[in-house]
Amino acid sequence: MGKKKITAEIIGSFENGDYDQIKIQVQNGLDQGLAPEELLSDGLITGIRVVGEQFRRGESFLPDMIMASDAFQEGMEILEPVMMQAGTERESTGTIVIGSVKGDIHALGKNIVVNILQIEGFNVIDVGIDVPASMFIDEAEKNKADIIALSALMTTTMPQQREVIEHLEARGSRKQYYVMIGGGPTDKTWADKIEADAYGETAVDAVSLALAYMEESKGGDG
């Protein structure tokens, strides 16, 4: 089977939601002698971006994103040992700690952001829902994060976004992290008021902002 055909099959499986096939196709590609970097970039990454585009156009939905992301991870579990052996591991876009702030148990918007971030190659530390301020910072320190992203879906949990920023200031580590906020009742005015670095109105906005920041912090221009 041709190299292009195998990567096209992987992309097709993402496109059609045949996620169970992907790990088999990745293994098949390796067995056929394809380079793992090629399977990753031309197969898995291209394929998962197709799902991301479908999502942006409203043609696929959150479950597809999660299943595509799981299939991507399964493919990576096959490729990573081979790539590590060859010293060609995938470079992470950046590390981000994300969660819903203390008192807020809404997860859906945050989960959408998590999945798109993973598609874009971020190392995502999802700390979940109802997360105390100190836990965001502990996880950011532990994982040497670049970004902390804070979701709040209620007017009564918005103050907890400020709380995280105040805790960062109290620890003297505010400048180490790019702090992004989002969620239904939040807006740019609130972000400015609490001195967050960015506000993402939608999941797609949030990821674009994170990508732009990483691009800028690495000094690249694309």
Partner 1 sequence: MITFQDVVYRALTGPITSGKDYDLKLLVSTSRRLAKEYEITYDPDNPVPNDDDLADRIWKAGVELFVDVGAYCPDTERRITFTSEEINHALALPSGKIKFGSGVDRRTFPRRLPEDTTPPWCSLGAGGCAVSSEFHMMSLIRAYARNPLCWSITTPSLTHVDGLKIVAGSPLEIEGAIRNITLVREALRQAGRPGLPVVNGVASAAHAASHIAGLGFGIEQTDAMEIGAHHEMRVDFDSLNKVAYTLIKGTQIWAENGVILGGMAGGPATTAIVTAAYNLLDMLVLRGSVQHPFPIHFNLRTTTTRDTLWVRSVANQAITRNSWLPVANLGYVGAGPMTKMALYETAAWVIVSVVSGGSIEAEGIAKNAHVDHTSPIEPYFASEVAHAVAGLGRKAANKIVKSLLSKYEDNLADAPIGSPLQECMDLESGEINANFLELYRDVRQEMTDEFGIEFKYPSLYI
Interface contacts to partner 1, rule CB under 8 A: 58, 61-63, 66-67, 102-109, 112, 154-157, 159-160, 184-187, 202-204
CB of 108: closest distance to partner 1 in angstroms?
Answer: 5
* Residues contacting residue 166 through CB under 8 Å, at least 6 positions apart: 133
User: Could you give the CA distance from residue 157 to residue 153 in angstroms, rounded to a whole number?
Assistant: 7
- What 8-state DSSP symbol labels residue 172? T
CB of 206: closest distance to partner 1 in angstroms?
Answer: 12
Six-digit token string for 164: 């995280």
Q: Report yes or no: 177 and 169 within 8 Å, Cβ to Cβ.
A: no
Which is nearer to partner 1, 107 or 135 (by Cβ)?
107
The sign of the CA dihedral 136, 138, 141, 144 is: negative
CB of 94: closest distance to partner 1 in angstroms?
Answer: 24
* Residues contacting residue 205 through CB under 8 Å, at least 6 positions apart: 182
User: Letter for the amino acid at 36?
Assistant: P
CB of 195: closest distance to partner 1 in angstroms?
Answer: 16
Q: How many residues does the chain have?
A: 222
Which is nearer to partner 1, 71 or 149 (by Cβ)?
71
Which is nearer to partner 1, 23 or 29 (by Cβ)?
23
Task: Write phi, then psi, for 35 (nearest 5 degrees).
Answer: -70, 140
* Cα 165–Cα 169–Cα 220 angle in degrees, nearest 5: 75
Which is nearer to partner 1, 28 or 208 (by Cβ)?
208
Which is nearer to partner 1, 43 or 182 (by Cβ)?
182
CB of 113: closest distance to partner 1 in angstroms?
Answer: 12
CB of 49: closest distance to partner 1 in angstroms?
Answer: 18
Q: Report yes or no: 28 and 61 within 8 Å, Cβ to Cβ.
A: no
Which is nearer to partner 1, 55 or 122 (by Cβ)?
55
